[in-house]
Amino acid sequence: MNRRLEHKRALVTGGSRGIGAAIVKRLAGEGAHVALTYAGSRDQAEETVAAARTAGVTALAIQADSSDAGALVSAVEQTVRELGGIDILVNNAGIAVVAPVDDFKLEDFDRTLAVNVRAVFVATQAVVKHMQAGGRIINVGSCNAERMPFVGGSVYAMSKAALVGLVKGLARDLGPRGITINNVAPGPVNTDMNPAASDFARLTVERFMALPR
């Protein structure tokens, strides 16, 4: 693989599994030293770190729940200490609680915003104290920010739509420093949170995709 990220230092939140783990491995494969955060899946985090190290880079796992602002800031500081700086932040950590409005719990509403929106701001604010011109911040959003094809997804959609507004504002703050910030908005992805064989995945694919699978 092209080592175009040789000697870069990256942090991926929620990087132990799914999309986050794939990002960690891709960054490592292109030469970046990489740290990842995880909330509870230590074994998966260590497996992802081990896979990243096969690319000959430094990799480490840091336990930090993204809903805990203090833990997230500490993870950024540890990354900077152990990797010698930071050039790339991927705000990947996210949760999706799906329930009809009548049944949606307020604590789930608050946690969704804490992980999907506030954590992006917290991590970005912590990182830019150390990031130089040429730094890159990438947020994993969702196509659900614009399209919601199933019942019970209102709060998740709101959180991802909020991320769109947040990144547009942050881009104005960070652009003069030579730092870019962008959202990536995936559609349905086959992960352990959304396995392709599930009824839910079939429903979302059918409603999102114009072409047959």
At residue 138, what are phi and psi to the nearest 5 degrees? -125, 130
Closest by CA position to 51, among listed 78, 82, 29, 75: 29
Length in residues, the chain: 213
At residue 11, what are phi and psi to the nearest 5 degrees? -125, 130
CA pair distance 109, 70, nearest whole angstrom: 20
Which listed residue (5, 20, 23, 156) is catalytic?
Answer: 156
In sequence order, what E strands does the chain have? Answer: 9-12, 33-38, 59-63, 88-91, 136-140, 180-184
Catalytic residue check, 38: no
Q: What are 138's two structure tokens?
A: 């990438």
Q: Which residues are catalytic?
A: 156
